[in-house]
Structure 1
Amino acid sequence: MFKDVVLEAGAHHWRLAASALYPDAEPIINWRKLLPVDKGTKHQRAYLTKSSKEFLEALIDMPSAQRRGTLSHATVENWWRWLRRLVVWMVERDLWRFSQLGPEAMLEFLRERSVAADGSGERLRNGNVFVVLMRWLWDLRFDYTASLRVNPSDLMYEIDRLFPPKQRHGWKAVDEAVALPLLRDAIWWLKVHGTTLQATLRKRALLERGFVGITADARSKARTQAYRAFAAEPEFADMARDLGMEGARPYYALRRAVNCTEGACLIILLFMVGFRCRELVSMDSDAMVREDSEAGEPLYRLRGVAAKKGGEARTWVASGPVVDAVEYLVSMHVDARTFAGQKALLIGRRGGNPVVAGSAAKRISTHSIGPRMLCFANSAFRDDRPRLKHLHPHSARKTFARFVVLRDKRALESLAYHYGHTHRLITDGCYVGSDIELAQMVNEESRRDLAAGLTDILSSSVIAGKAAGNLQKFAGSGTSKLRGRKALESLVDRLIGQGVQLAPCDWGYCVYSQALSACRGDALGPNEANRSAEVCSSCANFVVTDKHRGWWTERAERDAQFLDTKGLPAQTVAWVQRRLDGTHQVLRSLNAGRLHATSQNQSE
């Protein structure tokens, strides 16, 4: 496998065989960039580089890679980037051999890779790849020098705390209630504003083409006049208004329009065909072909390269909206594509600026697909639609699978063939899911439970606990500030939309915030192993309502009866008394809240 993937293995550069999915790629691994400059001795640098080369070669030749039959150069480049990040981290701590990575160092590295480096505390979705890298370093320890001596499996308890198993999943399908309006809006946008944008871009291209032999000042004045003329057109003004760019400079409105229109086309293609992102990016402008069926009806297909099966050629059937989106993308940058001799269907744009003939027209990067889609999804004219914080191309692929199977489960075999999977169980397990209806029912029931808990807190005349003070701005002192059921339901919906987490239990509610968690919970919620009435009552997330008064009263009575028992050890008495004092404190808070509510009602 190594000789098939690495065409030339020099001392400082490895030249890789480019995959058919990357028509413009010239992949090279530069080993001189593995280590930071001016770090370590010549021997240390050479020894660590030698060890890293041996590991990467063993990784390419490992049995699981050979079973694929082919190995993309992009996969090897990803492996090299992960390895380089680990090596740079080691060198900064004066660790020059993998054998020096002890348990503490390994966990420290994984801990840094589990959250964002900007201090926001946001968990990284791709951090788990470094756990996989550690396992490979252990599995291949006999194939490279100064190998790892610690088995990552011995640290799985600590690793699971950093990368909870619940977070180790791929991108999920977009809910149908969100995906269908998004797809309808994309088709609508292309029909209503596509022609306006295309005409504006054509005028701009003609303007730029006439700038030969004139001064920069003259070009600037001509552009200003042209953009004023664009803004004066009613169709352009309507498009800018829908983008929320009414009153903005026409240049910025045009740039936003290009981003959103490309995003609309991408949404149509990804949600209605189910491409892998790389399959779509590698597609050329002549990908559309027309065939006639036996009945004489036109049948359109898209030619491209499959991401699996060694990058062999394949086709996808294209429906009407897909045909319109492809034809629009072809004509959108036809001048720039012709001038640069570029065949790519999707053209990248430097700084988001519209492409003009004469500029370097390059194939778009896969990293630009998601932001384009999200730009359209969160456009101003969609303010009344469900909002999306993240929109990944693979989510669209999984959503397409849900579209197909939800309507006809007999189509699973055809869907597996369409996706290029070797067996329909792969499609069913990884893309569709075993029971979509059950998952939807569970999500709906969880939301109802969350809404019921928030309603109890916000409508209760008595709330106690350390989080009660923070909730007063929502609940006031009773229901005086939340008059009417509609107002309360609206507030609960808003809180749920903001992502509030509520963990109910027999003794109260946890309005969860990881930063304030006394049980040392994580991003997924409270730590169930550390939760208890004593821990919760001392936590800043804790809230009690009158609903829980019976639990605390019974607890106080049981502890009081227990303390009446004769012959108890002093330590036991001290511990139970301390627990009883905490129980009385909670009851006093509830009683004080009841008295306050009663006096306020009498004054009203």
Structure 2
Amino acid sequence: MNATRTSRAARELSASVRPPDRIWFLDEGCNWTDTVWRMTPTSVFEESNPVYLRWDFSLSEGRRLTDERYATLLESSRQLVALIRTRSISTGAPQRTGTVAGYFMYLRTLIRWMDQEGFSRFADLDASALMRYQRTLSERRGANDRLIAPTTVQKYLYLFDYMYRFRRELGDTLQVCPFPGQSAGDVAKVYEPDRRRLPYTPEHVAIPLVQGAIEWLGHAPQILCARDIYAKSAAVSQRENLRPESVSRRATLELLKWQANVSDRATRPLRSTIDLALQIDMLYAACFVVISYLVGLRSSEILHLQVGCAEGKPGHAADGEAVAVIAGSIFKREAQYHGRRHEWIAPPIALRAIEILEALSAPHRQRSGRRDLWLRRQECGITEWQHDYPGRLVIPDSARICHLLMRFANWLQLPEHEGIPWRLTTHQGRKTFSRFVAVRDRSALYALAQQLGHRERTVTDTSYAGNDYKLNAEINSTILDQSVNAWEHMLSSPTLGGLAGAEIVAKRPQFSGATLKQDIKSYARMLVDAGLVLGVCDWGFCVYRQEHSACLGNAMGPNPARREPSTCARCRNFSVSAQHRPYWAWQLARNEELLNEPALPAPTLRIVRQRINEARAIIAAINGQKEDP
């Protein structure tokens, strides 16, 4: 009798509040009442890895939610998940299935707790029950047997926001305000230091990473040629019905023969087809690093790029020079399957990475008829590049790209961070790009937000560059650290060039003894604390004092619009040391080369000669000092 009444209540609830278009988000052949929901993909990634929601999860005493006694609760749960899929609290747009899968996990935890506590309906949860559930969450332990973080508790509590916000649209749902006068974060005791920020790559790791990636892109023609040689050799061997090991052996011999006749070889020799497969993978990794670290795309945005995405746009400058962009789609917080179209301004090396990806993916695109640049075989190995390979082609997920980046880091032998290898992730390039821009020009956040595709600059502030207070603190901290290091260098250098350099040499104290390094560091910190903050750039140091500023700076610092090497060279704030010799040597060589131009106008000729004299004078001053040990 009770079971019949429960079933009838579930049917009445279904008829009264169920939206008529409730199954649009279920994949073809999947019905509302099915035990397992297969969600319609909301991106290309989910085509090969669809999201499944299993409603027959276990409860206490061996029961399952799909049992007849839980029919009402099951129907209410389905209604709630359908609402979450259909509407976001923050934007009102449909949410992607990955987000829904997270809420489903939170819902499953709540239902299991309700079953243990004797609750059969969401509407029965009162303030006391919510307090007990919050306490249970805060006492949960994760896989490492540690208490779950407050930020994780906060995610579980987000479910109550949905239940209460849309209580008029759901039949069985929360009837009391879950956090009166507070937010889920307040209740979970989430404080600003607890918020987990995705890390950026430390500078001493990021620089060799990007440099190594750019260098490896230069070997793309040889690697692509070697791949074609392998594919042709494999095709011939297969037509002769050779065994797989014989195919590989013949291809290796062909590669060795080709490599012996190549004058501009790759930095690492090809000894086997395994080496070729590795170098192709490293080329993919280098393309990802260049686009991520130098343009700022998310992982999903990079992996969804298609052939022809590199475009030219008319420039806004007086010369009308075209601006190169990468055209793609943004999927974050976007309901559409194909996301929102966006264009990212890109440097030439990023466009070169796109060209290489187009060449790499050409065989896969021809075979599949698709336009995606990141089509790869699911399994690893050189057989991916055989002409008649019948295997399935997919776009790699973030986990596979993370693994690829770690292999690339080991391959480049990147420096360690605090004694351990730095772990690269797919989002670090975007974070590192954002921080590089924000720290160097605090006025560029609007342009940065546009480049990153943020609808509001507050997202850029909070998630990437920090809010205004935190951003300014980070910028100032970075500048102070640079100033201390620069002062230590100038206090220990035997001589310094530049007008300010001569002044520093004449007035600095003499350091000696066993504590020399510590004394220099302490004195450098004292100078910075006293307000003598340095401007650090490739061509020298700026001991900034407004009254002597040749760039006409103000009380805040040098004028970025007028600050350039020639202006600095004649400024009383300028100091230069041995570490800047490569820059000035490059300047000298570049300008001397310009003198060989036969059609150089007379005004330009005068400027070039002036630059040559400046560079020679600074190099002469630098050559009068000893190199740092």
Query: Is residue 342 from structure 1 mapped to residue 342 from structure 2 by the alignment?
Result: no
Deviation of 1:421 after TM superposition, in Å, equals 2.8
Q: Which residue of 2 is the match for residue 281 of structure 1?
A: 303
Equivalent position to 1:219, from 216, 239, 244: 244
Shift of 1:55: 1.8
Does residue 1:411 correspond to 2:444, yes or no? yes
Q: Which residue of 2 aligns with 1:208?
A: 234
Specify which structure has the higher proportion of helix: 1
Q: Given the alignment of the two structures, is residue 424 of structure 1 paired with residue 457 of structure 2, yes or no?
A: yes
Report the CA distance shift for 1:63/1:372 in structure 2 as closer, same or farther (over 3 A).
Answer: closer
Matches within 5 A, 1:439-478: 439=474
- The equivalences for 1:73-472 within 5 A come to 73-84=97-108, 107-108=135-136, 111-112=139-140, 115=142, 117=143, 128-133=154-159, 135-137=161-163, 143=170, 145=172, 151=178, 159-160=188-189, 166-191=193-218, 193-215=219-241, 218-227=243-252, 230=255, 233=259, 239-240=267-268, 250-291=272-313, 295=319, 297=321, 299-307=323-331, 311-354=339-382, 355-356=384-385, 357=387, 358=389, 359-383=391-415, 389-433=422-466, 434=468, 435-436=470-471, 438-439=473-474
Which of residues 36, 42, 52 is equivalent to 2:67?
42
Residue 46 of structure 1, CA deviation: 3.1
Q: Are the structure 2 counterparts of residues 442 and 224 from structure 1 closer, same or farther at C-alpha, using a change threshold of 3 Å?
A: same
Displacement of 1:399 = 2.1
Partner Cα separation in structure 1 for residue 444 and residue 186 of structure 2: 41
1:7 is matched with which residue? 24
Amino acid in the other structure paired with 2:80: F
Shift, 1:326, TM fit: 0.8
Structure 1 unpaired stretches of 5+: 447-483, 489-604
TM-score, length-normalised on structure 2? 0.57
Q: Deviations over 1:361-398 (max 9, x none)?
A: 22222333333233323335334788653333333223
User: Structure 2 CA distance, aligned partners of 1:238 and 1:119?
Assistant: 48
Deviations 1:448-489 (A, max 9, x none): xxxxxxxxxxxxxxxxxxxxxxxxxxxxxxxxxxxx999x9x
Question: Deviation per CA, 1:239-281, whole angstroms, max 9, x where unpaired?
Answer: 558xxxx9xx845444433333222211111111111222222
Letter in 1 for 2:103: W
Change (3 A) 1:378 1:443: farther
Go from structure 1 to structure 2 and tell me whether the alpha carbon gap of 1:326 and 1:403 turns closer, same or farther (over 3 Å shift). Answer: same
3-state SS in 2 of match to 1:372: helix
Aligned partners of 1:156, 1:403: CA distance in 2, in Å?
A: 30
Per-residue deviation, 1:168: 1.9
Aligned partners of 1:312 and 1:323: how far apart in 2?
Answer: 21
CA deviation after TM superposition for structure 1 residue 144, in Å:
5.1
Q: Which amino acid aligns with 1:303?
A: A
Secondary structure, in 3 states, of the residue corresponding to 2:394?
coil
Following TM superposition, by how much is the alpha carbon of 1:322 offset from its aligned partner in structure 2, in angstroms?
0.4
1:334 Cα offset (Å): 1.3
User: Does the 8 Å contact 1:34/1:84 carry over to 2?
Assistant: no
* Unmatched runs of 5 consecutive residues or more in structure 2: 1-17, 26-30, 482-513, 519-629
Output the amino acid matched with 2:215: W
Contact 1:138/1:149, CA 8 A, preserved across alignment: yes
From the superposition, tell whether residues 102 and 26 of structure 1 become closer, same or farther in structure 2 (CA, over 3 Å): same
Q: Describe the shift of the 1:61–1:201 C-alpha distance in structure 2 as closer, same or farther (beyond 3 A).
A: closer
CA shift for structure 1 position 287:
1.5
> For residues 340 and 42 of structure 1, do their structure 2 counterparts lie closer, same or farther at Cα, with a shift above 3 Å needed?
same
Q: Secondary structure at the match of 1:382?
A: coil
SS at match of 1:333: helix
* Two-structure CA RMSD over aligned residues (Å): 4.7
Matches of 1:220 and 1:277 in 2, distance apart? 36
What secondary structure is seen at the aligned counterpart in 2 of 1:378? helix
What secondary structure does 2:422 align onto? Answer: coil
Amino acid at match of 1:53: R
CA distance in 2: counterparts of 1:124 and 1:76, whole angstroms? 21
Give the 3 Å change call, closer, same or farther, for CA 95–374 of structure 1 in structure 2.
Answer: farther
CA distance in 2 between partners of 1:395 and 1:319 (Å): 19
In 2: Cα distance, 1:280 partner to 1:26 partner: 18
Deviation readout 1:96-116 (Å, 9 max, x if unpaired): 76668776665555654x63x
Deviation at 1:346, TM superposition (A): 1.1
Secondary structure (helix, strand or coil) at the match of 2:33 reads: coil
CA contact (8 A) 2:313 2:323 kept: yes
Distance 1:339 1:84, change over 3 A: farther
TM-score, normalised relative to structure 1: 0.59
C-alpha separation between the residues in 2 aligned to 1:221 and 1:169? 52
Structure 2: distance between partners of 1:253 and 1:111: 50
SS of 1:367's partner is helix
Q: CA deviation at 1:300?
A: 2.8
Distance, in Å, in 2 between the alignment partners of 1:328 and 1:124 is 44
Instruction: Please tell me the residue identity of whatever aligns with 1:10.
Output: W
Q: How far apart are residue 228 of structure 1 and its match? A: 5.7
Cα distance between partner residues in 2 of 1:276 and 1:195:
27
Counterpart contact for 1:290–1:300, Cα < 8 Å: yes
1:171–1:392 contact (8 Å) kept in structure 2: no
Q: Is the Cα contact below 8 Å between 1:59 and 1:140 reproduced in 2?
A: no
User: Residue 422 and residue 382 in structure 1: after superposition, are their counterparts in 2 closer, same or farther (change >3 A)?
Assistant: closer
Per-residue CA deviations over 1:545-576 (Å, capped at 9, x if unaligned) read: xxxxxxxxxxxxxxxxxxxxxxxxxxxxxxxx
- Structure 1 residue 441, shift from structure 2 partner: 6.4
Aligned residues: 438
Partners in 2 of 1:250 and 1:404 — Cα distance? 42
Match of 2:82 in 1: 57
